[in-house]
A and B are shown apart, each in its own frame.
Chain A
Amino acid sequence: MIEVRNVNQSYSKRSSKKTLTDVSMVVKENAITALVGANGAGKSTLLSVMTNILPALSGVVLLDGKDVRKMKANDLSKRVAFLRQSQQLNVRITVNDLVEYGRFPHCGGRLKDEDHQKVEEALSYMNLTDLRHRYLEELSGGQCQRAFIAMILAQDTPYIFLDEPLNNLDIKYSVEMMKILTQLVEELNKTIIVVLHDINFAAAYADHIVAMKDGEIYYEGPPQDAITPEVLNPVFDHDFHISNSAGRPVFLYYDEDDPNCEVCVS
């Protein structure tokens, strides 16, 4: 279980402006939690605090009752995997090597049969088997993103944190990615927290929504309650229009001044 208690965080010690203000939440187990909010709301910062990449200034994050700051880095990395919002590598390596590094917490770089098997599974999950010997720099943005996700999958942790994993993915792979996440929760009992920009993806696939605004949790609840204009308009500071498709609300984003947009509202 992951529990966040009264976490405060700010990047500069002098300024009074906080990036996170008194954030508390309990991560829903065996479910997909979608973290939504405008740019700069503090979503990435919250994930960094929860994974102890950026220890909190005050407050605690408890993983199974233990303070993550006091856990050994290796123990933590066997429990929690974190895909950062942007990946830069200064090194020329192949997809296969990258995914193999996902096993480092378990085998310290000495891969055994079990580790090779997990690597295979992760590669085939992300449909990368054919690209495994390509260097990352020779791949498209989306393929690269999939390689990093495969590394996270190979890490095989009960908790998976993904910061905007749909970045760079086209529609096909975005949908496939969300299906894979659903599968991971249903078949392997994983707990997933994912930052999503597309509200409709959150509405369709998440079990729980956490909406952040200005470093605070603005609203938390199941999608049917959270994905409403009452919650989301203030969170994104935008007037959403909603249409219905097969009984599900679909959010339409458009420029109110654009005359053509009448068409989409119907």
Chain B
Amino acid sequence: MTNVKQKRKGMVSQPESPDCPKLTTFEEIKKAERRNLVFVSSIIITLLILGIFLYIFSRTYAKAWRLGVPMRPDAFNSILQRSIPALVAMGGSAFLIAVVSLSFQTIVDSKILTPSMIGFDSIFMGTQTLLVFLFGTTTQFFLNPHVNFIVSAGVMVVVSFFMYSAILRRSKNNMIFLLMFGLVLSGVVSSGTRYLQTIMSFYEFTQVQALINVSLNNVNETLIYMVVPLMLILSFFMLFRHRIYNVLTLGSQQARGLGVDYQKELNFNLILIAIGMSLSTALIGSLTFLGLLAVNFARMVLKTHRHLPLFMISGLVAVITLILGEAIVELIQGAVPVTVVINLVGCSWVFYYIIKDNKI
């Protein structure tokens, strides 16, 4: 299907003539799109399986070999027992981050802003610290990870909903403002958090550290079995609504003309995004550029605006990036954590975008 053929078709407009080459039909285009999707998905699934095996391998046999000890089956089993929750947490979080980032980009009509870039995860961490600070001395209530999570997530949903719906209503088209806002917010929250942490008691401090200093190597395991099912539900709920996101890519005005209540969608999605960011931040910490990378990569390989394939591929790409990256880091015992690499590549991508289009 080349442009030349299409142009011919436009001018001659006699597709039935026998000596004319058979022209691309709608079905063929759809088929090509589907073939592309199947191709991309099979590569991705292969990589995913590879990543999982490599991750387990690097934590077991590779490690044993490096230490010069044989791998005993019981030791293998016990490491496996610990690796599976970590894999589940990384997979669920990465998929959700990608899905949430894509829906956010569609809603605010930007290809580079993601929820973490405008400060969603900072709000979550700030809320958690503040709760422990305010109530920690008087009650053990908020030190229970489950309760703390639910309360922090609830507070975060309310706070971010009001904050961002107010901001987005006024300056949706002002990306620079949103970015600056996210930057300043993250700065304020992290220094505020650090300040609170220095003035709180040592016991509280260690508790807060346990809550907010989660990272890939330090997954919050107590929360996994509560949070991962919620992550899956939320991801699939958004996937299920892919048709509405498709219409929203036409812009808020066109979408309204086609019967989508834009303001309602914006509010509803902000709530979903806030929940999604709380879930993933609570479990594996903040991964600022993972969503951006995964979504843009999916857009690049799929070349479609349809959200069902975009959601699936960007979700899987995020999962692979995280698991494969983590596996490689463990394997080579690199000094650099995978999040640093992701942020580096993500930052470069934003840089490239800004320079290429000279806009945000």
Q: Which residues of A are interface residues toward B (Cβ below 8 A)?
A: 51, 53, 72-78, 81-82, 84, 87-93, 96-98, 101-102, 104-105, 108-110, 130-134, 138, 155
Contact A101 to B9, CB < 8 A, known contacts A73-B260, A77-B259: no
Out of A73, A91, A102, which one reaches B261, CB within 8 Å? A73
Instruction: Give B263's nearest chain A residue, CB to CB.
Output: A73
Contact A104 to B247, CB < 8 A, known contacts A77-B258, A77-B259, A130-B10: yes
Residues in B neighbouring A76, C-beta threshold 8 A = 259
Contact between chains at B26 and A132 (CB < 8 Å): yes
Contact between chains at B6 and A102 (CB < 8 Å): no
Residues in B neighbouring A77, C-beta threshold 8 A = 257-259
Q: Quick check: is B34 within 8 A (CB to CB) of the other chain?
A: no
In the complex, what distance in Å separates the CA atom of A88 from the CA atom of B249? Answer: 11
Residues in B neighbouring A74, C-beta threshold 8 A = 259-261
Residues in A neighbouring B259, C-beta threshold 8 A = 73-78, 104-105
Q: 8 Å CB contacts to A: which residues of B225-277?
A: 243-244, 246-247, 249-251, 253-254, 256-261, 264
Out of B109, B243, B246, B253, which one reaches A53, CB within 8 Å? B253
In the complex, what distance in Å separates the CA atom of A245 from the CA atom of B113? Answer: 59
Range for the number of chain B residues in contact with chain A:
20 to 34
Q: Binding site of B, secondary structure by majority: helix, strand, loop or mixed?
A: helix
Q: Which 9 residue pairs spanning A and B have beta carbons closest together?
A: A109-B243, A77-B259, A74-B259, A105-B259, A73-B261, A91-B249, A104-B258, A91-B305, A130-B13
Residues in B neighbouring A104, C-beta threshold 8 A = 243, 247, 258-260
Residues in A neighbouring B243, C-beta threshold 8 A = 104, 108-110
Contact between chains at A101 and B10 (CB < 8 Å): no
Contact between chains at A51 and B257 (CB < 8 Å): yes
Residues in B neighbouring A82, C-beta threshold 8 A = 257
Contact A105 to B258, CB < 8 A, known contacts A90-B249, A91-B250, A134-B6: yes
Residues in A neighbouring B258, C-beta threshold 8 A = 77, 101-102, 104-105, 155
Contact between chains at B26 and A133 (CB < 8 Å): yes
In the complex, what distance in Å separates the CA atom of A82 from the CA atom of B257? Answer: 7
Q: Quick check: is B77 within 8 A (CB to CB) of the other chain?
A: no
Q: Quick check: is B24 within 8 A (CB to CB) of the other chain?
A: yes
Q: Quick check: is B29 within 8 A (CB to CB) of the other chain?
A: yes
Residues in A neighbouring B256, C-beta threshold 8 A = 53, 73
Out of A87, A91, A93, A133, which one reaches B24, CB within 8 Å? A133
Contact between chains at B251 and A88 (CB < 8 Å): yes
Instruction: Give A74's nearest chain B residue, CB to CB.
Output: B259
Contact between chains at B251 and A90 (CB < 8 Å): yes
Residues in A neighbouring B13, C-beta threshold 8 A = 130
In the complex, what distance in Å separates the CA atom of A104 from the CA atom of B257? Answer: 10
Would you give the shortest CB distance from B66 to chain A, in whole angstroms?
49
Out of B24, B253, B254, B305, which one reaches A92, CB within 8 Å? B305
Contact between chains at A84 and B253 (CB < 8 Å): yes
Residues in B neighbouring A155, C-beta threshold 8 A = 258
Residues in B neighbouring A134, C-beta threshold 8 A = 6, 10
Would you give the shortest CB distance from A51 to chain B, in whole angstroms?
7
Instruction: Give A105's nearest chain B residue, CB to CB.
Output: B259
In the complex, what distance in Å separates the CA atom of A108 from the CA atom of B243? Answer: 7
Would you give the shortest CB distance from B182 to chain A, in whole angstroms?
21
Would you give the shortest CB distance from A83 to chain B, in whole angstroms?
9
Residues in A neighbouring B260, C-beta threshold 8 A = 73-74, 104
Tell which of B246, B250, B260, B261 has the most Cβ of chain A within 10 Å.
B250
Tell which of A74, A91, A105, A155 has the most Cβ of chain B within 10 Å.
A91
In the complex, what distance in Å separates the CA atom of A138 from the CA atom of B250? Answer: 17
Contact between chains at A96 and B26 (CB < 8 Å): yes
Contact between chains at B257 and A53 (CB < 8 Å): yes
Contact A89 to B257, CB < 8 A, known contacts A108-B243, A134-B6: no
In the complex, what distance in Å separates the CA atom of A91 from the CA atom of B255? Answer: 13
In the complex, what distance in Å separates the CA atom of A205 from the CA atom of B10? Answer: 30
Out of B29, B244, B254, which one reaches A133, CB within 8 Å? B29
Given A77-B258, A134-B6, output 16 extra A-B contacts at Cβ < 8 Å.
Answer: A53-B253, A73-B260, A74-B259, A78-B259, A84-B257, A89-B251, A92-B305, A93-B305, A101-B250, A101-B258, A104-B247, A105-B259, A108-B243, A109-B243, A130-B9, A133-B24
In the complex, what distance in Å separates the CA atom of A251 from the CA atom of B262? Answer: 43
Residues in A neighbouring B3, C-beta threshold 8 A = 138
Residues in B neighbouring A78, C-beta threshold 8 A = 259
